[in-house]
Amino acid sequence: MTKRVGILTAGGDAPGLNAVIRGFGKTAIWHYGMQLIGFLDGIKGLVENRTIDLNGNALSGILTTGGTILGTSRDKVHKYVRDGQAVDMVPTIVENYHSDGLDALVMLGGGGTAKNAKRLSDAGLNVITLPKTIDNDIAGTDTSFGFATAVEIATDAIDRLHSTAHSHHRIILAELMGHRAGWLTLAAGLAGGADVILIPEIPYSVEAVAAKVHERMERGSTFSVIAVAEGARDQNDKADYDAARLLVDKAGSSEARRAARAHLANVEDSQREHTFKLARDLETTTGLESRVTILGYVQRGGAPCSTDRLLATRLGATAADLVMEEVFGVLVAARGDGAEAVPLSQVAGKLKTVPLDHDWVQTARKIGVGLGD
């Protein structure tokens, strides 16, 4: 019997989403003879049952395009915000899945999507997820599509910042994305030759960063380029942040959880400008003029690089194999040159951060890059 499959993209967009839709779709439709529909705008479209037909020509010309042809959103299936209220939409989604005659649902997303997918899988749906994020923070997979492209973009930016920092004898701090993980900043910082790299996993002190800048000045380098992860914190801020997070994790009642979340949001808000604060502190300590460049959404936009196109295409094709074999409740993880099905229970709710003994960390230390500790 012909299998009918739904596909969606959820969470923040990342380069390579369209390449996965294409890789999955071509394999599913042309190789296995399945039918494919797309849900628009992520979980929102799944709840509202807004779909498009992806058979025919819809998959042509999208390998190289940025963003997602399906649109995306950051909703949660069990706490879907409608008219200001958080509603459990899992039953509605289950109903839509059956009324659309689906045999499987393929979800492209990051950590949040893995949690959504696990809930749908627990509710009896045949779900497969694929690892999307520029942050590279999804547990269970070697890497995620979008990451390699973001590293390219951020490396190019760091390269460019070098010549202007050098010309003006300035410190330039480049703030990179990555949420609570330092993969993107560490990779691009190393590839771009940053003098200091600050990541969430290693809380920094202004004194240690300033010492590295001074060390360079003594050697005749009157400029420094610093790659700062958006989630990096100085040691004091980190202690406040961790305490606020612990309150959220430990909160028993929903009332306590609401209060703890509000407190965490306040702490996050007060730390939002941390890169500018560090720049001011360094200017005072070192006497060098300091400037900040926030790379922001540039890191997520535009065409995927060739590494991501290849990864996206082969993971997409493997996902179609898994639908055919009826292997569900899994993430299609990148493993070396191949792919592996990892149960969602080993992925959902877990964050892959940079281990302190990781080779990239050790390499940075060996070549004299300051890590702020």
Catalytic residue ranges: 135
E strand or H helix that includes residue 206:
helix 206-218
- Residue 343 has, within 13 A of its CA and on its CB side, a CA count of 3
CA distance 194 to 159: 9
| Dihedral sign, Cα of residue 335, residue 345, residue 132, residue 264 | negative
| Contact criterion met (CB below 8 Å) for 202 and 372 | yes
Place of tokens 């509603």: 87
Pairing of strands 51-53, 35-39: antiparallel
E strand or H helix that includes residue 225:
strand 224-229
Sheet with 51-53, side-by-side order of all strands? 51-53, 35-39, 4-9, 104-109, 127-131, 330-335, 338-343
Task: Tell me which amino acid residue 102 is.
Answer: L
| Dihedral sign, Cα of residue 86, residue 88, residue 93, residue 95 | negative
- Residue 79 has, within 13 A of its CA and on its CB side, a CA count of 3
User: Of 6, 78, 4, 12, which is closest to residue 45 (Cα–Cα)?
Assistant: 6
Pairing of strands 171-176, 224-229: parallel
Place of tokens 């649902």: 105
Angle 341-200-236 from CA coordinates, rounded to 5°:
150
Show Cβ contacts of residue 239 under 8 Å, excluding neighbours closer than 6 positions: none
Both tokens of residue 305? Answer: 């690089």
Counting other chains too, the contacts that 163-170 makes at CB distance below 8 Å and 24 or more residues apart are 165/223, 165/224, 165/225, 165/291, 166/223, 168/223, 168/289, 169/222, 169/223, 169/288, 169/289, 170/223, 170/288, 170/289, 170/290, 170/291
List residues binding ligand F6P (CB under 6 A). 12, 74, 110, 133-135, 177-179, 230, 300
